Structure 1
Amino acid sequence: MKKRWLIATIGIFTLMIIVGGSYLLFIRGTMPNNKQHMKSMMNGGNTTTNQTMMEGMGHGASVDLKSTEEKERRLNIPKMLKSDRETKNSIQYTIVAKQGETQFFQDSKKTETLGYNGNYLGPVVELKKGKMVTIRTVNRLSEATTFHWHGLVVPSSVDGGPHQVVKAGETKVVKFKVKQDESTLWFHPHPMGKTAEQVYKGLAGLLYVKDEKTKETM
């Protein structure tokens, strides 16, 4: 009995060694060597090496992973909002909260989103210290919203908090004078019980305050 058990044990270990050795030979024959792989990783991912890896894993056709990643990671820079009218001492804008659709990934279905002057997110609103600002806030949503100027030093009467609702289809005008130094801020809705939902659906834009020390880089 002991002899049969010993023979069976030896047979199992022999089989494991044969299978394991065959697998290692397969890996060494299809995967890039460690030095080549490390060099590829240090260079940000070599396309040729990536293709070799994909083919060795049985995917068949070569795939340009680098170009695919670049397309997926492309950053959309918000545009500057064009003013309705500007003089030496004043500037006027129109900001519209609206519903839209956005396709986030290639070949994916479109998602219902919200945006300012577009389908998703908002533009950059440029303000200059010392200027009087007039903004027409237009609500084209199916529900009430507000227009809150986050971080901007303005009177409470135009702050755009939950107490200053703009109903669906309504337009309100706010006026204020820019009194702070150069800064990057943002604007978003602030309605009671709906702030988070409207923001993560896309209602958010940038405020760029310039002063006499601002370098013209934009």
Structure 2
Amino acid sequence: MSSLKKIIPILFCLSSFSAFAAEKTFNKIEFLGNNRTEESVLNLIVEINSGDQFQTEKLEKAVQQLKNTHLFSKVEVSTAGDKDDSNKIDVKFNLEEKWAIIPVPIAYSAGGVSRYGVALKDYNFLGRFYQLTNYFYLQNSKPNFGSTFVNNFTFNLPLVSVLSFNYVDNKNTIYNKNREVGYYSVNLIQLEGDLIWKFNDYINLGGGLKYENAGNINIQMMKR
């Protein structure tokens, strides 16, 4: 019985060591076809690092995260064991980038308010997955314009920062029983900053500050 007690822990240690040695890990992470998007940004998106435990689920999630950016028309992944160590898995993402700058027409007319113009959206500004939107429109013949900048990985963290500027020159008609009785107008300068921490795909927490300055407020009623 005493010899059996000595053999069991030895076999247990050998078995544990063998299982640990056979664990597969991610090795090289490579991106092909990213002519504009920086590789450092893609690494943040896929959330896979060299040395991480290899899991098929992680690969599937990485592919979906790349598709969710809407920057690529094709996302494919392939794996291969390292030539020196088959437990180290090399990963290649084959990508085809979309054109990321999109013009969006602005057209609206209702309740005495008409708005016509254009917004220009860049979903991959500077190749860093920054999102920049600039817009200009006329509202009742008054010029309005602004810009919004979004950084999805502030300080290389899952922290979204948003900065926006808007110049608003509103002139709205006042109606009484479907009859025009006057108008009011106001000029606004708006500045806003927001921070949002992304805990996961479902939980976000954030807040922000907004500054607004109103000027040239005017109300005019028509004489009967």
Give the structure-1-normalised TM-score: 0.28
More helix per residue:
1
Higher-strand-fraction structure: 2
Normalised TM-score (structure 2) = 0.27
**Max radius of gyration: which structure?**
1
Higher relative contact order (CA 8 A, sep 6+): 1
